[in-house]
Structure formats: C-alpha cells, structure tokens
Amino acid sequence: MRLSTIEYIGAKPRKKKKKNILLRVVLFLGLASLVTLGVMNFGVNKSFGKQGEQTQKISAKDFIAQKLTEETALNKFLSASLNRTTKSITYDPAYYAIDFPMGDVPVDKGVCTDVVIRAYREIEIDLQELVHKDMGESFHSYPKNWNLKRRDTNIDHRRVPNLQNFFARNGKSLTISNQSSDYAPGDLVTWKLSHGAPHIGIVVPSPYENDDTPWIVHNVGSGPRWDNCLFDYKITGHYRYKLD
C-alpha cells in the first residue's frame, strides 16, 4: 500500500538550514555570471601577453597600418608577407609555363614557395631570376631530386630544396633550435612535413600585443595563413636574406 506523506515511516526529516539555502543561491548566481560572461565573449579571439593581460588578435590589415609604418626593407617585406594572408589563393602545385624574368603563376593560385617569391618581389627582389643565375654559376651544387640536366625558369625557384640551397649560398644560414628567441621577423624557415614533403614559410610577429612568439606566414594547403606553427613541423633550415 502506498503511504501518504502523513504515514511516512522512517527517520524524521531534518529541517533545511538557512545557510544551505543561502549557499545554493550564491552558487547559482556565480554560475549564471560565468555563463553570461561566456556568451558575451563568444567568438572573440583573445590571448594572454607576457604580463598575463588578455589581448585581442589584430587583423593583418590593421597590423600593417599600425605596426609597420617605418619605411624599411624589413617592414616592407613583412607587410608584403602579411598582405598575402588577405588573398584568396587555391593551392596548386601544377607546372606552369611562365614569363622570365618576373614571371608568376596565375594570381589566384600558388604553393608555399610562391608566398616567399611574391613577398620578395614587393621589395624588388626577383627570386626567379636570382635562382636561375645562381644555378648557372653552380648547377652541380643544387639538388638532383628531379634528374634535371639543365635549368628551368618555370619551376626552379618554386622548389623548396632549390630555395634552401640558394639562401644558404647567398644569404645567411642561421641556427636551428627550439628556442623562439632564435627566430626573428623576416627570417625564412623550412620544414619537413609529417608526410615527408618540404615546406617553407616566413617568420612574422605575433598578432597579439605584448607577445614575442614568432608566427609564420605560409601556405600549407589552404591558402596563405598567419599561424602560430613554428615548431609544429621538423625544422630543416633557417635563413635570412637581404633584410639586414
């Protein structure tokens, strides 16, 4: 037989204490406040600087306008690099017959090397012509990965191993380390990706205030990006060219 409340048999229920009710109210209000803050900040991309303060990510366009105003070769190169991340580019490793010098693949296409090539052209450095000339002077020193017997102005400068050799011969080969402080804006870094392919990118500043972390402008398959990925892959080269 179902017992009514009056017929309850067992230990006498204890009367709830006021402090328990008060505690529950405080916890509820605290949880509600956290939820409200979460909703208010939803979608806002933030990080923490060296002093622990919260900062908001700046766009490439605003970074160029606010941080790279001084007319130097380095700032022009960094501006050109960051500006690449505002372009809609389809990753396309196809072979193209292009002009020489200053030849380029279609503007809406490209690979990782094209990010570097196009950025340098903004400071009047044509890697297509320079690599072609250097290969003519020392063809034997360049990689033989493709069994080439002569130079090819359409593709030589668009191959990462060739650029590595060119920068090592004509620029500075720098320390490869796992220390962020060893990498400066404007440096060039090459990697070996997880599937074995070579890759190249440009070291740029962080998009966050009070953050010295070196970020990378590169195209790893989804178009030019501004990423915090310096140590995501195995580093195979670290160079500096024409920006001192």
Q: Is the pLDDT of residue 24 over 80?
A: no
HSE-up of 239 (CA within 13 Å, CB side)?
A: 23
Give the Cα separation of 95 and 219 in Å (integer): 17
Q: Where are the domains of the chain?
A: 18-43, 57-240
Mind listing the pLDDT tens digit for each residue in 94-152?
Answer: 999 999 999 999 999 999 999 999 999 999 999 999 999 999 999 999 999 999 999 99
User: Quick one: 57-240 is in which CATH superfamily?
Assistant: endopeptidase domain like (from Nostoc punctiforme) (3.90.1720.10)
Interhelix angle 112-121/127-137, rounded to 10 degrees, is 100
pTM above 0.75, yes or no: yes
> Which of 22-26, 79-83, 90-94 comes out lowest in average pLDDT?
22-26
Q: Is 33 a residue whose pLDDT tops 70?
A: no
Percent of the chain's residues with pLDDT above 90: 76
Residues 6 or more apart whose Cβ sits within 8 Å of residue 186: 74, 77, 78, 202, 203, 240, 243
Residue 203 corresponds to which amino acid? V
